[in-house]
Amino acid sequence: MLNTGKPGLPPPGPSKKTIYIARFHDTQYHGPGRKFSIVTELDEVSFMPEWAKLPTTDPYIDGIVDALTPDVQLWKNYLSGAIPWQSFREKYSQVVSSTPLYHGTLMARLTDGSEIIVDDGDTLLCVCTKAKADDMRCHRAWAAYWLRGCNWRVMIDGRQLR
Ligand SMILES: [Zn+2]
Protein backbone atom coordinates (compact mmCIF):
# COMPACT_ATOMS: atom_id res chain seq x y z
CA MET A 1 0.00 0.00 0.00
CA LEU A 2 1.29 3.47 -0.82
CA ASN A 3 2.12 5.55 2.20
CA THR A 4 0.50 8.92 1.73
CA GLY A 5 1.65 10.23 5.10
CA LYS A 6 -1.89 10.37 6.46
CA PRO A 7 -2.50 9.65 10.16
CA GLY A 8 -3.01 6.00 10.97
CA LEU A 9 -0.61 4.73 8.32
CA PRO A 10 2.84 3.37 9.18
CA PRO A 11 5.69 5.91 9.15
CA PRO A 12 7.55 6.33 5.86
CA GLY A 13 10.64 4.21 5.47
CA PRO A 14 12.14 1.55 3.28
CA SER A 15 9.67 -1.28 2.85
CA LYS A 16 10.96 -4.80 2.64
CA LYS A 17 11.25 -6.51 -0.70
CA THR A 18 9.58 -9.88 -0.95
CA ILE A 19 11.39 -12.88 -2.35
CA TYR A 20 9.61 -16.16 -3.10
CA ILE A 21 11.27 -19.54 -2.73
CA ALA A 22 9.62 -22.70 -4.00
CA ARG A 23 9.87 -25.92 -5.93
CA PHE A 24 9.78 -25.69 -9.74
CA HIS A 25 6.74 -27.96 -9.73
CA ASP A 26 4.71 -25.94 -7.18
CA THR A 27 3.76 -23.01 -9.41
CA GLN A 28 1.03 -21.97 -6.97
CA TYR A 29 3.83 -20.83 -4.61
CA HIS A 30 5.73 -18.81 -7.24
CA GLY A 31 5.76 -15.02 -6.96
CA PRO A 32 4.52 -12.51 -9.53
CA GLY A 33 8.03 -11.58 -10.74
CA ARG A 34 10.73 -13.41 -12.61
CA LYS A 35 11.79 -17.00 -11.99
CA PHE A 36 15.36 -17.96 -11.23
CA SER A 37 16.82 -21.41 -10.72
CA ILE A 38 19.12 -22.17 -7.79
CA VAL A 39 20.04 -25.66 -8.96
CA THR A 40 23.03 -26.66 -10.98
CA GLU A 41 22.21 -27.98 -14.42
CA LEU A 42 23.74 -31.40 -14.91
CA ASP A 43 24.37 -33.03 -18.29
CA GLU A 44 24.12 -36.50 -16.86
CA VAL A 45 21.09 -37.28 -14.73
CA SER A 46 20.95 -41.09 -14.59
CA PHE A 47 22.16 -41.17 -10.98
CA MET A 48 19.64 -38.59 -9.85
CA PRO A 49 16.87 -39.64 -7.50
CA GLU A 50 13.36 -39.22 -8.93
CA TRP A 51 12.53 -36.27 -6.66
CA ALA A 52 15.52 -34.27 -7.92
CA LYS A 53 14.40 -34.29 -11.53
CA LEU A 54 12.78 -31.28 -13.12
CA PRO A 55 9.12 -31.47 -14.07
CA THR A 56 8.59 -33.52 -17.22
CA THR A 57 7.72 -30.42 -19.20
CA ASP A 58 10.69 -28.06 -18.96
CA PRO A 59 9.74 -25.27 -16.56
CA TYR A 60 10.01 -21.68 -17.73
CA ILE A 61 12.83 -19.74 -16.06
CA ASP A 62 14.34 -16.31 -16.63
CA GLY A 63 17.81 -17.27 -15.43
CA ILE A 64 19.90 -18.53 -12.54
CA VAL A 65 21.19 -17.07 -9.28
CA ASP A 66 24.76 -18.32 -9.17
CA ALA A 67 25.36 -17.10 -5.58
CA LEU A 68 22.78 -19.61 -4.28
CA THR A 69 23.48 -22.47 -6.68
CA PRO A 70 25.56 -25.33 -5.30
CA ASP A 71 28.87 -26.13 -6.91
CA VAL A 72 28.48 -28.82 -9.63
CA GLN A 73 30.63 -31.46 -7.95
CA LEU A 74 29.03 -30.86 -4.55
CA TRP A 75 25.52 -31.18 -6.04
CA LYS A 76 26.52 -34.38 -7.89
CA ASN A 77 28.04 -35.87 -4.75
CA TYR A 78 24.90 -35.14 -2.79
CA LEU A 79 22.41 -36.42 -5.36
CA SER A 80 24.38 -39.60 -6.08
CA GLY A 81 24.45 -40.39 -2.37
CA ALA A 82 28.26 -40.09 -2.16
CA ILE A 83 27.86 -37.60 0.71
CA PRO A 84 25.00 -37.17 3.22
CA TRP A 85 22.88 -34.01 3.27
CA GLN A 86 24.71 -32.83 6.39
CA SER A 87 27.99 -32.61 4.47
CA PHE A 88 26.21 -30.94 1.59
CA ARG A 89 24.80 -28.37 4.00
CA GLU A 90 28.15 -27.75 5.65
CA LYS A 91 30.02 -27.15 2.38
CA TYR A 92 27.22 -25.13 0.80
CA SER A 93 26.84 -23.01 3.95
CA GLN A 94 30.54 -22.20 4.06
CA VAL A 95 30.26 -20.43 0.73
CA VAL A 96 26.76 -18.96 0.79
CA SER A 97 26.39 -17.78 4.38
CA SER A 98 29.30 -15.37 3.90
CA THR A 99 27.92 -13.96 0.63
CA PRO A 100 25.93 -10.69 0.82
CA LEU A 101 22.41 -11.51 -0.35
CA TYR A 102 20.81 -8.07 0.09
CA HIS A 103 18.47 -6.47 -2.39
CA GLY A 104 20.77 -4.70 -4.81
CA THR A 105 23.67 -7.09 -4.35
CA LEU A 106 21.89 -10.38 -5.07
CA MET A 107 22.29 -10.89 -8.80
CA ALA A 108 20.71 -13.18 -11.35
CA ARG A 109 22.21 -14.22 -14.67
CA LEU A 110 19.73 -14.18 -17.50
CA THR A 111 19.71 -16.80 -20.25
CA ASP A 112 21.46 -14.27 -22.56
CA GLY A 113 24.31 -13.95 -20.03
CA SER A 114 23.47 -10.46 -18.75
CA GLU A 115 23.29 -9.77 -15.01
CA ILE A 116 20.41 -8.08 -13.21
CA ILE A 117 19.43 -7.62 -9.58
CA VAL A 118 16.96 -10.03 -8.00
CA ASP A 119 13.98 -7.84 -7.25
CA ASP A 120 10.73 -7.60 -5.33
CA GLY A 121 8.40 -10.47 -6.24
CA ASP A 122 11.00 -12.68 -7.93
CA THR A 123 11.14 -16.42 -7.21
CA LEU A 124 14.06 -18.75 -6.52
CA LEU A 125 13.47 -22.34 -7.59
CA CYS A 126 14.85 -25.69 -6.56
CA VAL A 127 13.87 -29.30 -7.18
CA CYS A 128 13.56 -30.74 -3.66
CA THR A 129 10.17 -31.81 -2.38
CA LYS A 130 8.28 -29.64 0.10
CA ALA A 131 8.72 -32.41 2.70
CA LYS A 132 12.50 -32.04 2.40
CA ALA A 133 12.31 -28.26 2.66
CA ASP A 134 9.98 -28.49 5.68
CA ASP A 135 12.51 -30.87 7.22
CA MET A 136 15.40 -28.44 6.58
CA ARG A 137 17.09 -30.92 4.25
CA CYS A 138 17.03 -28.68 1.18
CA HIS A 139 19.25 -25.78 0.21
CA ARG A 140 16.30 -23.49 -0.51
CA ALA A 141 15.28 -23.85 3.15
CA TRP A 142 18.77 -22.84 4.32
CA ALA A 143 18.93 -20.00 1.80
CA ALA A 144 15.58 -18.74 3.09
CA TYR A 145 17.11 -17.94 6.50
CA TRP A 146 20.16 -16.20 5.04
CA LEU A 147 17.93 -14.13 2.79
CA ARG A 148 15.73 -13.17 5.74
CA GLY A 149 18.92 -12.20 7.56
CA CYS A 150 19.73 -9.96 4.60
CA ASN A 151 16.48 -8.07 5.06
CA TRP A 152 14.21 -9.82 2.58
CA ARG A 153 10.63 -10.70 3.40
CA VAL A 154 10.76 -14.39 2.55
CA MET A 155 7.84 -16.45 1.28
CA ILE A 156 8.84 -20.11 1.22
CA ASP A 157 6.51 -22.73 -0.21
CA GLY A 158 3.54 -20.45 0.22
CA ARG A 159 4.06 -19.12 3.73
CA GLN A 160 6.08 -16.29 5.20
CA LEU A 161 9.27 -17.21 7.03
CA ARG A 162 8.99 -15.62 10.46
ZN1 LIG B 1 16.71 -28.12 -2.52
Nearest in space to 158 (alpha carbons), one of 23, 14, 57, 39 = 23
Rounded to whole angstroms, what are the CA distances from 99 to 67, 77, 96, 112? 7, 23, 5, 24
Residue 111's pLDDT is 87
d(CA 144, CA 153) in angstroms, rounded, equals 9
Q: How far is the centre of ligand 1, averaged over its atoms, from the C-alpha of 126 (Å)?
A: 5
Q: How far is the centre of ligand 1, averaged over its atoms, from the C-alpha of 34 (Å)?
A: 19
Residue 114's pLDDT is 96
65, 108 contact by CB (below 8 A)? yes
pTM given for the model: 0.86
Q: Which strands make up the sheet holding 107-110, listed edge to edge?
A: 115-117, 107-110, 63-64, 35-37, 123-126, 18-23, 153-156, 159-160
Residue 8's pLDDT is 53
Residues lower than pLDDT 50 in the chain: 1-6, 10-11
Residue 97's pLDDT is 84
Residue 3's pLDDT is 42
Q: How far is the centre of ligand 1, averaged over its atoms, from the C-alpha of 7 (Å)?
A: 44
Residue 70's pLDDT is 94
